[in-house]
Homo-oligomer: A and B are copies of this chain.
Amino acid sequence: MTGAEPLEHYLDARRADVETALRAWLPGPPQAPAVVATAMRYSIEAGGKRLRPILCLAAAESVGATKGLSAADAREVAMSAACAIEMIHTYSLVHDDLPAMDDDILRRGKPTLHVVAGEGMAILAGDGLLTEAFGLLTRTTGTAGASPDRRLRAIAVVATAAGACGMVGGQALDLDAMPRPGVPAGAPLDADGLRRMHALKTGALITASAVVGAIMAGGDAATEHAIRQAGEHFGLAFQIVDDILDVEGTTAGLGKTAGKDAAAGKPTYPAIFGIEESRRLARRCITDAEAALEGAGLHHSRLAGIGRWIVERVN
């Protein structure tokens, strides 16, 4: 279902849809105290690619088409989940940027939340985004609606991907490999350790984005399995490209401090494999993802197009 719409238009339109929905769903005064609601909004409105919610919507469209759902209806039924995942991604950035973690002062071209609101409020705003995300996942959106069973399953998939066996676990491995004041560092990561860390820290939530889109749009177990496989390849490709951009990009283009991982002595794909081999690895991921999607008849879908964009992006 790639249709005639160019990918750039599609990405812009979906980004706008997601940002409109996020603005409507974020809590605000008087129910939520203004001080924390403002902090949550600051981080969400700092922008970003919105890769994860777009992947979720594209997966819903691709699967929905096989169930007779229009593209718009399929996206609508997955919109609450797409926004919830972006809220979880944003909370993870807020906490990662804290002085006790990566200690970064610039994100998406703006001062990080702890710089503008203080560390304590940044911790709370992250906690708030994570909690509200699960509240949002309980809601159904769109005329198609998702059954309670599908919503529960989506919550379970997201919790597993974001929790100690996923994103939080990956961040812990990353943190543990760094020397910190007063805490002895664990062993530095080798290539296998690097792959596991990224699979948890970044890959799990990217994979879950696609899987949850498929669940909300009514995908069966075989489709969900194919999309999970493709999502894992997407996640790895995304991380390799991110590492390449960290070496090659500029701070202005990336909206975050370039070259920071290398300067911190963090292992990266280019540092281990070199730039050219890293590029080849990323392209290979997309070929593998397309093979997985082909098994479910989804290799010409919008989802496959989003996969190609992941390796072609420049920020």
Contact = CB atoms under 8 A, between A and B. Distances in A.
A156 to B, nearest CB: 4
Contacts of A149: 148
A123 interface: yes
Interface string A165-182: 100111111011000101
B123 A123 contact: yes
Nearest to A37: B164
A36 B32 CA distance: 30
Interface of A: 27, 31-33, 35-37, 39-40, 91, 95, 98, 100-101, 117-121, 123-124, 126-128, 130-132, 134-135, 137-139, 147-149, 151-153, 155-156, 159-160, 162-165, 168-173, 175-176, 180, 182-183, 186, 200
Contacts of A131: 130, 159, 162-164, 168
A120 to B, nearest CB: 4
A230 B33 CA distance: 24
B186 A132 contact: no
B132 A164 contact: yes
B165 A138 contact: no
A130 B132 contact: no
Nearest to A31: B165
Contacts of A36: 164, 168-169, 172
In this complex, which of A138, A149, A159, A163 has the most chain B Cβ atoms within 10 angstroms of its Cβ?
Answer: A163
Contact of A164 (B32, B176, B186): B32
Given A127-B130, A138-B156, A156-B135, A165 B121 contact: no
Nearest to A122: B100
A284 to B, nearest CB: 27
In this complex, which of A130, A149, A153, A180 has the most chain B Cβ atoms within 10 angstroms of its Cβ?
Answer: A130
B175 A33 contact: no
Contacts of A134: 134, 155, 159
A137 B98 CA distance: 29
